Amino acid sequence: MKPEKKLIAAALMSAVSCFAININASAGEQEDALIAKIIEAYGGSLFENLSSVRIQHEFKTAFPGQGYTSGYVEFTPLKQDAQFDLENERASIEGWSANWNFNFNTRTVSIDDDIVAINYASETYQPAAGPDYYTAFGPTIRSSDTLLAYEISNRADTAEHQGTEDYIGRPHEMISFEIPNSPPLMLHVDSESGWISKMTRETPFGALTYQFRDHTTSGGIGYGSNFEFFIGSDVNLLSLNIALTPNRVRDSVFAIDRGIEEEPTRVDTSEMTVDEVADGIHLAGTGNAFTMFADAGDYVIGVGGYAGLGARYDAYKDAVGHDKPLRYQVVTHHHTDHLGGMADALALGAIFVMPSNALANVTTAAGEDIPDDRVQFIDGHLNHGPVEVYDVSTSHAESYALAYVPDANIAFQADHYNGNYVDGPSPAGIGTVTMKQAIDALGLDVDVLLSAHGRKPNPWTDIEAAVTAYNPEPCPRNRAICR
Ligand SMILES: [Zn+2]
């Protein structure tokens, strides 16, 4: 704990006892008194002297809009081992899951001034997607009432009391505060006990709710032994077990494990690109969002509907120098992250070609009902111009629209294989295996596999090599988290 916080906490201890009746306290005093009450609940002087904390968390998790079925979301197991060196503002968060669609065992860890992401299945590391402490570790901080208590006690200057509300039949103090790279956090603090019962955040993804229950202590440090996380009204994480260990995080954690190598160079996707992958077949996109455009003579067929579809179509028209209409937009599957471009497709006048189970999510994403004459369900398979579309079933989705261009031996898929590396294949998942099985079963002659999430036109030999090398072992390095 930082020295100035100790001073504030000590100076405010006397205010705690009269907090409940001190309704005329000036702004600032009320916040400080409430923070002192939180510190007292979470361990008093032990909490003030907390130097590190390890939180081992076992969840069930669901990804709203990302289920195998379109009707509901399936839960998958998730384990997390979070180690925070609070004094030095560094952390290590290991995650593990094994389910019908993917296995992962990864660790995001502070190494000196950097943060790296280790993948134990591929035995590689890369720079973490979040380059700073609060981007990389914020989601875990926000999922721990102990860490939230730590953060607000260090950020008292941003705290604002927002009144009193009843929650689960008890009066709660509402107090907002800020941490970097996040909308303000609103704590719901039990007026009597000082425990944090709930945290809420308003984000571009809607309202997020973090619920903490059944508070207890470990080594004198308090924590909620039950946790749930909601995105809007959908449950996203349900905790099965939480173990908290104070002051035991070791220095040796903040290193890259032996035998883990830096991953190969990735394909650069930082700028919008339009690549001609075959005669009349282009792949346009940037970041992790790509669309295949196929020229059918009088019109264009688009495949892949991530957000930004309109911008990709414009870039494509600029690159090829024509202004043909987007007559058909093939919707790969019902997952909502692949439907961000549906409003663009509707505005462009496209006819939607999709598995029938995607209609509800496509309609929501488009923002209005789509006229019946602009919806085509793939009943087995259909053709438009140079593109054939097959409805297949894989580990990823019960009903999936696989696009194939027989004249060019090109197929387009989303989420089953991403070729990230300039040279050689990327690791396969079970999705890659089941997609290859589906392509083989159809007897398609694929030379190049395109991806909604990558720029690389993947040679089929990469897919074959990746599938051959696929390791289904759910605990690839026999680490403690999954033993
Ligand atoms: Zn998907």
What DSSP string runs through 196-263? EEEEEEEETTEEEEEEEEEEEEETTEEEEEEEEEEETTEEEEEEEEEEEEES---GGGSSPPTT-EEP
Is the distance from CB of 87 to CB of 268 less than 8 angstroms? no
pLDDT at res. 73? 84
- Ligand 1 centroid to Cα of residue 247, in Å, is 40
- Ligand 1 centroid to Cα of residue 193, in Å, is 44
Domain with CATH 2.50.20.10 in the chain: 3-262
Domain with CATH 3.60.15.10 in the chain: 273-469
- Ligand 1 centroid to Cα of residue 461, in Å, is 24
- Ligand 1 centroid to Cα of residue 338, in Å, is 7
Confidence of residue 10 (pLDDT cuts 50, 70, 90): very low
Let me know if 365 is exposed, middle or buried by CB neighbors in 10 A (0-12, 13-18, 19+): buried
- Ligand 1 centroid to Cα of residue 58, in Å, is 24
- Ligand 1 centroid to Cα of residue 333, in Å, is 7
Mean of pLDDT values over 21-43:
79
Measured from the Cβ of residue 205, the count of other Cβ atoms closer than 10 Å reads: 10
CA torsion 124→125→130→134, rounded to 10°? Answer: 120
Q: Per mean pLDDT, which range of 15-19, 84-88, 179-183, 403-407 is the poorest?
A: 15-19
Running DSSP on this structure, what letter comes out for residue 176?
A: E
- Ligand 1 centroid to Cα of residue 465, in Å, is 23
CATH superfamily label, 3-262:
Lipoprotein localisation LolA/LolB/LppX (2.50.20.10)
Let me know if 450 is exposed, middle or buried by CB neighbors in 10 A (0-12, 13-18, 19+): buried
Q: Each residue of 253-280: pLDDT tens digit?
A: 999 999 999 999 999 999 999 999 999 9
- Ligand 1 centroid to Cα of residue 264, in Å, is 25
Rounded (10°) angle between helices 145-154 and 3-16: 100
CA–CA distance, 323 with 448 (Å, rounded to integer): 27
Running DSSP on this structure, what letter comes out for residue 329?
A: E
Which residue in 176, 203, 207 sits closest to 189, CA to CA? 176
pLDDT at res. 24? 37
- Ligand 1 centroid to Cα of residue 100, in Å, is 13
CA–CA distance, 382 with 385 (Å, rounded to integer): 10
Confidence of residue 4 (pLDDT cuts 50, 70, 90): very low
388 Cα distance to chain centroid? 32
Mean of pLDDT values over 446-470:
97
pLDDT at res. 342? 98
- Ligand 1 centroid to Cα of residue 337, in Å, is 7
pLDDT at res. 271? 97
CA torsion 462→464→469→470, rounded to 10°? Answer: 100
Q: Each residue of 320-367: pLDDT tens digit?
A: 999 999 999 999 999 999 999 999 999 999 999 999 999 999 999 999
60 Cα distance to chain centroid? 15
- Ligand 1 centroid to Cα of residue 165, in Å, is 40
Give 204's contacts (C-beta < 8 A, 6+ positions apart).
none
- Ligand 1 centroid to Cα of residue 105, in Å, is 20
pLDDT at res. 449? 98
pLDDT at res. 304? 97
Mean of pLDDT values over 475-483:
95
Mean of pLDDT values over 73-82:
94
Q: Each residue of 392-420: pLDDT tens digit?
A: 999 999 999 999 999 999 999 999 999 99
- Ligand 1 centroid to Cα of residue 418, in Å, is 12
DSSP string spanning 413-465?
ESSS----BSSSPPPP-HHHHHHHHHHHHHT---SEEEETTEEEEEEHHHHHH
pLDDT at res. 126? 96
- Ligand 1 centroid to Cα of residue 275, in Å, is 24
CA–CA distance, 160 with 143 (Å, rounded to integer): 21
Q: Which residues pair with 328 in a beta bridge?
A: 301, 351
Give 21's contacts (C-beta < 8 A, 6+ positions apart).
none
CA–CA distance, 194 with 197 (Å, rounded to integer): 9
- Ligand 1 centroid to Cα of residue 161, in Å, is 41
For 364, the token pair is 């929501």
Q: Each residue of 122-158: pLDDT tens digit?
A: 999 999 988 899 999 999 999 999 999 999 999 999 9
pLDDT at res. 204? 86
- Ligand 1 centroid to Cα of residue 68, in Å, is 8
Confidence of residue 21 (pLDDT cuts 50, 70, 90): very low
Confidence of residue 23 (pLDDT cuts 50, 70, 90): very low
CA torsion 416→421→423→428, rounded to 10°? Answer: -30
CATH code, 273-469:
3.60.15.10
Give the pTM: 0.88
- Ligand 1 centroid to Cα of residue 66, in Å, is 6
CA–CA distance, 9 with 54 (Å, rounded to integer): 24
Q: Across the chain, what does the average pLDDT equal?
A: 93
Q: Which residues pair with 104 in a beta bridge?
A: 97
Q: Each residue of 171-180: pLDDT tens digit?
A: 999 999 999 9
202: phi then psi, degrees, rounded to nearest 5: -100, 120
Is the distance from CB of 362 to CB of 331 less than 8 angstroms? yes
CA–CA distance, 109 with 245 (Å, rounded to integer): 18
pLDDT at res. 384? 97
Is the distance from CB of 84 to CB of 53 less than 8 angstroms? yes
Determine the 3-state secondary structure of 336 from DSSP: helix
- Ligand 1 centroid to Cα of residue 397, in Å, is 7
CA torsion 468→469→474→476, rounded to 10°? Answer: 160
CB under 8 A, 24+ apart: contacts of 184-191? 185/142, 185/148, 185/151, 186/162, 187/38, 187/148, 187/152, 189/34, 189/37, 189/38, 191/20, 191/164
pLDDT at res. 465? 98
CA torsion 240→246→248→253, rounded to 10°? Answer: 60
